[in-house]
Structure 1
C-alpha cells in the first residue's frame, strides 16, 4: 500500500490525472541584481539570465519550454538539470497581474498535468483573465528528468506485497520489498536522487520567477505544494507575492509524527464516510453504526488477506490493494458513491472496483505502465526527512500508537512508514519551524476533516509563518479551494486579484 506521506490532490488523480530542508550556500561571491531587481549570486547568473524559448505544446492554448537549473546548487558549475515548464497566457479582460504558479502536491504530482488538465480550465475566469497560468514539473517528476525505480510488472508485484505482516517472515518480506524498491531507484536514477529535495525545487521556482519577469512569486500550492510554497517563502521572504497554501503541511514535524497524524486523519475521514454510508439502505458495511461499519471493513480486509478475489484481469485483489482503494476515496467525498459500489462488489467476490480506485491512486495505466508519481514521492520524502523507522523492530514498538490513531488503518500505515529505511541517499533535511520573516501575507487553508493533511497542520503552519493568515473550511475531503465552498473561493479569489488576504481565523463551511 506504500501510501504514507503521499500528499496530492486526489480529485486531479481521478479526473486528469512531505519535508523541510535548510538551503545550501551557492558560494561566497558578492550578489548582483538580476533583470528583475532581485539579488543573485554570481555563480547563478547564467541560470537567472537564460532566455526561455516558448513553443506550442500541442495542447490548445498552452505553450511549453525547458529551463536549466544547477543539478547541485552547492556546485553550480557541476552540471545542469532540464526542467519542463508550461503556461497559458492571461486571457483578459483586465490588467495582467503577472504569473501564477500552481502545484498539485505529491510530492511527485505533475504540475504541468494539473495545469493543462484542470487549473488553466477550472480556476475562476477572473483569475485566468489576469494571470498567466504557469506550472513547472519539479526536478525528478514527470517531464523534468523523472526518477524511475521499477518496471510495470515489478510495480504490480510491489503494490501487492502484504503490508500488515502477521509474523516475522511476512515482516521480512515487506522490508525486503522496500529495499528492492530503493535499489531500483538507485540503479535507474542514482545521479538525480541526491538532488530532488524540496529546497532545491523551491530554488528552481525562484529561477523561473525571474525568467518570467516577475518581481514576486504568486503561487497556489495544494497539499505537499504547501510545503514547497512555505519552503520558498522561508528562503526568499522578500520575493513572496500572493501565496495560497491549501491543505497545509507542518514542516516542524519529524517523519514519524507526520505518518501518525496522517493515520489519524484517514481515520477521521473514514468515520465521516461511514456515518454517511450507514444512513443508506444499500451500505455495504451495514446500516447500524460507524463502529459496526469499521468492524465490517476490517473483516473484509482480513478476508482478502487470507484469500484475494478476482478482478477480471491477471491481478487479484488482496488486502494491500483493497486498502489503497479505500484510502484513495477518502480524499474526496465525491468519490464515496464509487467506494460504496466498489465495497459492495468486493463483498460479492468482485474486486475490479477497488482495484480501479487503487490504480488511480498509483497512476497505473491500463497497459500496465505507471507514471513516476510513486517513484518521485519516495525520492523526495526520503531525502527531505530522516526515516520514520529504521527497521521492523521499531515498527513493532510503534504499532499500539498507530492502531490507537486508527483501528482500521493503523497497522498498515505503520508498516508503510518503513519505506525510507533502506534509502540509498542520506536525508538532507531536518524538521524545523518555517517563519518566512518579512514575507507579505500568506494564506494558509485547512479543512477540518482532511485525511491527508490534518487540520492541525494548517493551524501550526499559519502560526509559524510570520505573516500567515489561517482560512478554515469546516468540511470533508482533501484541500478546499475550488471544491464547492463559495466562502473559501471568494476569500482566495479576492486575495489573488486584489492582494487583500482574508482575516486571520476566518471560517467557512
Structure 2
C-alpha cells in the first residue's frame, strides 16, 4: 500500500487526526440509540434493497402495499430555508455581515499552538434577526506562505468540531494547500463551543453508551429501552437548550457559513467538507450558487435520502466493511483471532458480541466493564479507517481471551471520552438534534417494524441497531424540517465530489447520486476501504484535488484511483 506523496504529512498521524475528528459521530451513526439484542444473527436473508439504501421503489421508502411509497413524518418549517431577501443585501442583517473577526490565541484547543481563535455572531432565528443571537467559535490555521484566501472546512458528524479539526489541518492537507490558504474551521450552532447543547451528565453518558439490550428480551422491549433513552436525552436538551433546538437544522448552519464568508472578506466561499460536511456544503451551494468558489465534498450524503434510506444504506455499508475487515484479518493467519472463511469469522464475531451482552468483560478499570454496546462501538469505529485494522485485530484477540481493555479504549476514542471521565464536545447528542431535524422518515409504525426486521436479518452485524429511525426521532421535541430532495446548485461553478468504494458510513452510491444531482460537478473515485478519501488515499486523490484548490484546475470527471497507483 503506497502511503502518501512527498508533499503530504505523516500518514499515520493524518489517519489518527482524521479519525479522531469524526469519532463522536461514529458511535451513533444516524440515530442508532436503539440498543442491540433480541435479534437472530443466523437470519441473513431479507427483502431486496436499492443501491440508494431503500427497500424497493426509486425513492427508497418502499411500498406499503398500495403501490405508493408510505408517507413521511409531518414536517415543520425551517426558519432559514426560504427568506424573502438575500440577507447579505438586507439592512436588517447588516450588523452580522459587517463583522470583523478578532483573532487571538486559542485557550482550549488540543494541539492548537499554531492556531488563532475567534468568534462570529449570527442570528439564532434566521427569518427573525430580532429574536436573539448565537456566537459561533472559530479557529484558523494561518497560511504558512503567501495567503491566497481562506478555505473553510467541516469534519462531518453532524456534531464534529470544526475548531478541533482545524488543529489537524497540517496532517491532512498538503504543504502546498496549507501554504496558500488560511484553513478556517467553526463549530456549527449547537455544537461544542458554539452554544453546544447539553443533555446528559458525564455519568449519564457513560450509562447511555454502555447500555446493551437484553438478548433474551423481545425486540419490543429493546425498542422501548431505546425510546426511553431518546426521551431522556430530549428532556435534558429541552431543559438546557430548548430555545435553540428548533434552529439547529442545516439550512440555518449554511446561512451561518455565508456570514463567515463575508467576515473572511471573501466574495466566494472556498470550502472542503467531509461526510455530513458534504450535506452542509451542498445546502450552501443550493442557497448561494453565485457565491460558490472551489468546493470539495468528500464522502457525500445524498440530500434526497429519507432517514430510512440513510439507515439502510449504512447498515449495508457497515456489513460490507465488516466482511472486508474480516477478510483482511483472516489473511494474516495466526495473527487473526478468527478462523475459517469470512462467513465463519462473521459468525464468530456475532457470538463474541452475544457473549459480552450476556457477561461484560473485565477491563483495567474495575468500574467500567466492556459491555456489548461498547464492544460494538469499538468495532464500528474500526470500519472508518482500514489503517487501524491491525490495532483492531489485536484488541479483539485480547477481548476474546477475556481482557476488554483495548476495545474499551477504542470505544472511548469513538465517543471522545477523556481520561478524567469527561466527554470532549457534545457530538453524542448533537448528532440526534441535527439529524432528527434534517431527515424525516416513514411515519407508519408497522412499516418501521418491518424495515427494522429486514435490516436486522439482512445486515446482522450492525443492522439490528439501525432500524426505527423515525420512531426514535419521534421522541424529539421538534419535528423534522426538511423534505428529502435533490440539490442542483444551478449556476455554481464546478464542484468536486469524492466517493470511496468501500466507505461504510456514506456508501459510494451516495457520492454518485450527489454528483448527478449537482448542475456542474465531477466525481472522483477512490478504490479503497474506510470513510473519506482526501488525506488518506495515499496521494492519488490529493494529487487530483490539490491543483483544483490551488489553481482552479478541474479534475477529470470519472477519475478512479487507488492507494496502489
SS in 2 for 1:486: coil
Match for residue 97 of structure 1 among 130, 148, 162: 148
Match of 2:491 in 1: 438
The CA deviation at 1:223 is: 0.8
Match of 2:158 in 1: 107
The CA deviation at 1:508 is: 0.9
1:369-408 equivalence runs, <5 A: 369-370=422-423, 371-387=425-441, 395-408=448-461
The CA deviation at 1:355 is: 1.3
The CA deviation at 1:399 is: 2.9
The CA deviation at 1:10 is: 7.6
Match of 1:45 in 2: 94
Q: After superposition, give the CA deviation of every residue in 1:139-183 in whole Å (9 maximum; x if it has no partner).
A: 111111001110011111111222576313333223212211121
Q: Alpha carbons of 1:291 and 1:283: their partners in 2 closer, same or farther (altered >3 Å)?
A: farther
Q: Report if aligned partners of 1:163, 1:415 keep a CA contact under 8 Å in 2.
A: no
Question: TM-score, length-normalised on structure 2?
Answer: 0.82
Q: Alpha carbons of 1:311 and 1:340: their partners in 2 closer, same or farther (altered >3 Å)?
A: same
The CA deviation at 1:366 is: 1.6
Stretch moving more, 404-413 or 228-237: 404-413
Stretch moving more, 135-144 or 417-426: 417-426
Q: Report if aligned partners of 1:388, 1:420 keep a CA contact under 8 Å in 2.
A: no
The CA deviation at 1:394 is: 5.0
Match of 1:12 in 2: 18
Distance in 2, Cα, partners of 1:319 & 1:406: 17
Distance in 1, Cα, partners of 2:469 & 2:412: 18
Q: Alpha carbons of 1:177 and 1:417: their partners in 2 closer, same or farther (altered >3 Å)?
A: same
Q: After superposition, give the CA deviation of every residue in 1:225-276 in whole Å (9 maximum; x if it has no partner).
A: 1111111101000000000000111010000010000010001111110111
Distance in 2, Cα, partners of 1:417 & 1:194: 17
Q: After superposition, give the CA deviation of every residue in 1:61-89 in whole Å (9 maximum; x if it has no partner).
A: 32211110000001111110001111122
Stretch moving more, 424-433 or 307-316: 307-316
Q: After superposition, give the CA deviation of every residue in 1:356-381 in whole Å (9 maximum; x if it has no partner).
A: 11111111112221231111111111
1:136-147 equivalence runs, <5 A: 136-147=186-197
Give 5+ residue unaligned stretches, structure 2.
Answer: 1-14, 24-29, 32-74
The CA deviation at 1:389 is: 6.5
Calculate the aligned-residue CA RMSD, in Å: 2.3
Q: Alpha carbons of 1:143 and 1:352: their partners in 2 closer, same or farther (altered >3 Å)?
A: same
Q: Alpha carbons of 1:287 and 1:111: their partners in 2 closer, same or farther (altered >3 Å)?
A: same
Match of 2:12 in 1: none
Q: After superposition, give the CA deviation of every residue in 1:74-125 in whole Å (9 maximum; x if it has no partner).
A: 11111100011111222215xx321001111010100010101x11454111
The CA deviation at 1:26 is: 7.4
Q: Report if aligned partners of 1:280, 1:287 keep a CA contact under 8 Å in 2.
A: no
SS in 2 for 1:444: strand
Stretch moving more, 313-322 or 101-110: 313-322
1:312 equivalenced with 2:364 (yes/no): yes
Match for residue 297 of structure 1 among 349, 354, 371: 349
Stretch moving more, 102-111 or 172-181: 172-181
Q: Report if aligned partners of 1:285, 1:296 keep a CA contact under 8 Å in 2.
A: no
Stretch moving more, 177-186 or 417-426: 417-426
1:477 equivalenced with 2:526 (yes/no): no
SS in 1 for 2:466: helix
Distance in 2, Cα, partners of 1:265 & 1:26: 34
Match of 1:36 in 2: none
Give 5+ residue unaligned stretches, structure 1.
Answer: 1-8, 33-38
Q: Report if aligned partners of 2:226, 2:472 keep a CA contact under 8 Å in 1.
A: no
Match of 2:178 in 1: 128
Q: Alpha carbons of 1:242 and 1:419: their partners in 2 closer, same or farther (altered >3 Å)?
A: same
Distance in 1, Cα, partners of 2:496 & 2:82: 30
Match of 1:24 in 2: 80
Q: Report if aligned partners of 1:359, 1:365 keep a CA contact under 8 Å in 2.
A: yes
SS in 2 for 1:487: coil
Stretch moving more, 377-386 or 253-262: 377-386
Q: Alpha carbons of 1:183 and 1:338: their partners in 2 closer, same or farther (altered >3 Å)?
A: same
1:83 equivalenced with 2:121 (yes/no): no
Match for residue 488 of structure 1 among 541, 550, 556: 541
Distance in 1, Cα, partners of 2:150 & 2:297: 17
Q: Report if aligned partners of 1:277, 1:287 keep a CA contact under 8 Å in 2.
A: no
Distance in 2, Cα, partners of 1:384 & 1:25: 12
Q: Alpha carbons of 1:189 and 1:317: their partners in 2 closer, same or farther (altered >3 Å)?
A: same
1:232 equivalenced with 2:284 (yes/no): yes
Distance in 2, Cα, partners of 1:125 & 1:252: 36
SS in 2 for 1:106: coil
Distance in 1, Cα, partners of 2:471 & 2:362: 29
SS in 2 for 1:200: helix
Question: TM-score, length-normalised on structure 1?
Answer: 0.91
Which 4+ stretches in 1 moved above 6 angstroms?
A: 15-23
Q: After superposition, give the CA deviation of every residue in 1:176-231 in whole Å (9 maximum; x if it has no partner).
A: 12211121111121121111111111111100101110011001101111111111
Structure with larger RCO (C-alpha < 8 A, sep 6+): 2
